[in-house]
Chains A and B, each alone.
Chain A
Amino acid sequence: MIKVENLVKKYGNVTALNHLNCRFETGKVTVILGGSGSGKSTLLRQLTGLEKPDSGSVYFDGVNLTTANKKKLYGIRRKMGMLFQGSALFNYLNIFENIAFPLREHTKIADNIIKTIVTMKLEMVGLRGTEKLMPSQLSGGMMKRVGLARAMVMDPKIIFYDEPTSGLDPISTGVIDKLIKDLNQALNITSVVVSHDMESCFRIADNIMILFFGDIIAEGTVEEIRNSKDLRVKQFINGEPEGPIPFTRTDKNYLDEILFR
């Protein structure tokens, strides 16, 4: 389980995370929603210990990531899997070597054992038989599934998904959604999904968290979020262009800026 306490992260004058408190429960899929610039990716970087916050704490199974030394942090990271937005496969390695990569980097496991592990993971994502193909020979959906197999190869306790279905067709999206949900249940891990995709979110989430300029403006189950009376939440889940969430990033009035510069 991950617990976030009073987390603050600023970039210059911009407060990306504003005293955030939340938790990500074991065995649950938590989806973090929010528009561009809402703090989703910043939160993900703090949760994985890739960046230090200005203040506050992130606890992974009781260990504070923000104060952990490098050795401890690396040990904890071995328990984390990450599916990157663009799959982030190594173009110069075939599918087998892409999935085997973390095992070769972090363990002393023998080749024969690695081969079996990779086969097991490819079976889980339904891609056995693609071992010798190169990433460029796969569709976007298949690349995501390979990315997922690689994220799982070290048997992580938590998997982070950064926009796992962006750019995918509806069927590939459904396949990825089902995999996220099924694997979470079967492996009893913690899943943290950063997404824009409302349909996908409602399909997979046990809990939803909506960020808005560094604050959590709503938290709850799918039903609770669907029935939220908060106008910002309604605007976000219905994709309405007009509403309390502004389209523009500056508070400065457009005409003032044009006429009185």
Chain B
Amino acid sequence: MSFKIKNTEKENIGIIIVEGEVDMFTSPSLRDKLLPYFERGVKGVIVDLSGVSFMDSSGIATLVEGLQWSKKNIKEFILTGLGDNVLNALSLTKLDRVFNIKADTDDAYKELSER
């Protein structure tokens, strides 16, 4: 499955939708989408991973950077739509409990925008 990424922003909340395989060669694109939000200091970032078929260590490490940003700046960094493959990759690196994980992007956005 080829890699695709797109992003939108609503009410100072960044939403990134990722599809396909996130590996050593595609994860820099995910980072490129994330960094501007971190630098600008938006209210929060939601990463929709429902279309991700595979994620390797570099993908996980890229998401960890989002988590580092959120902890440092007291912002929200939310992952949504995680399939078993991504959940397994997170649990393998013992990081499955540290992320804010929601089932659905719309619900995550609603929760975040009401804050």
**A222 in contact (CB, < 8 A):** no
For window 151-170 of A, CB contacts with B under 8 Å fall at 153-155
> Given A120-B93, A154-B24, A186-B92, are A113 and B62 neighbors across the interface (CB < 8 Å)?
yes
Complexed CA–CA distance, A186 and B91 (Å): 10
Q: Which of B28, B60, B62 touches A120 (beta carbons < 8 Å)?
A: B60
- Please, what's the 1-or-0 string for B14-25, where 1 marks a CB less than 8 Å from any CB in chain A? 000000000111
- Please, what's the 1-or-0 string for A111-147, where 1 marks a CB less than 8 Å from any CB in chain B? 0111011001101000000000000000000000000
Task: Categorize the interface residue count of chain A.
Answer: 20 to 34
Residues from chain A with a CB closer than 8 A to the CB of B56 are 155
B65 engages A116 (CB within 8 Å): yes
For window 90-121 of A, CB contacts with B under 8 Å fall at 103, 106-110, 112-114, 116-117, 120-121
Residues from chain B with a CB closer than 8 A to the CB of A113 are 27, 31, 58, 61-62, 65
Total interface residues in chain B, CB < 8 Å = 17
**Whose C-beta in chain B lies nearest to the C-beta of A102?**
B24
**B112 in contact (CB, < 8 A):** no
**B50 in contact (CB, < 8 A):** no
**Whose C-beta in chain A lies nearest to the C-beta of B95?**
A120
Q: Is the interface of A mostly helix, strand, loop or mixed?
A: helix
**A187 in contact (CB, < 8 A):** yes
Complexed CA–CA distance, A120 and B90 (Å): 11
Complexed CA–CA distance, A170 and B31 (Å): 44
For window 24-43 of B, CB contacts with A under 8 Å fall at 24-25, 27-28, 31
A109 engages B58 (CB within 8 Å): yes
Residues from chain A with a CB closer than 8 A to the CB of B65 are 112-113, 116
A187 engages B94 (CB within 8 Å): no
**B64 in contact (CB, < 8 A):** yes
**B53 in contact (CB, < 8 A):** no
**B70 in contact (CB, < 8 A):** no
Complexed CA–CA distance, A112 and B35 (Å): 12
For window 61-111 of B, CB contacts with A under 8 Å fall at 61-62, 64-65, 92-94
Which residues of chain B have a CB within 8 Å of any CB of chain A? Answer: 23-25, 27-28, 31, 56-58, 60-62, 64-65, 92-94
Beyond the given pairs A108-B28, A109-B24, 17 more chain A to chain B contacts, judged by CB atoms under 8 angstroms and listed by A's residue number, are: A78-B24, A103-B58, A106-B24, A107-B25, A109-B61, A112-B65, A113-B31, A114-B61, A116-B64, A116-B65, A117-B57, A117-B61, A120-B60, A155-B23, A155-B56, A155-B57, A187-B92
Q: Which 4 A-B pairs have the closest CB atoms?
A: A116-B61, A155-B56, A113-B61, A107-B24
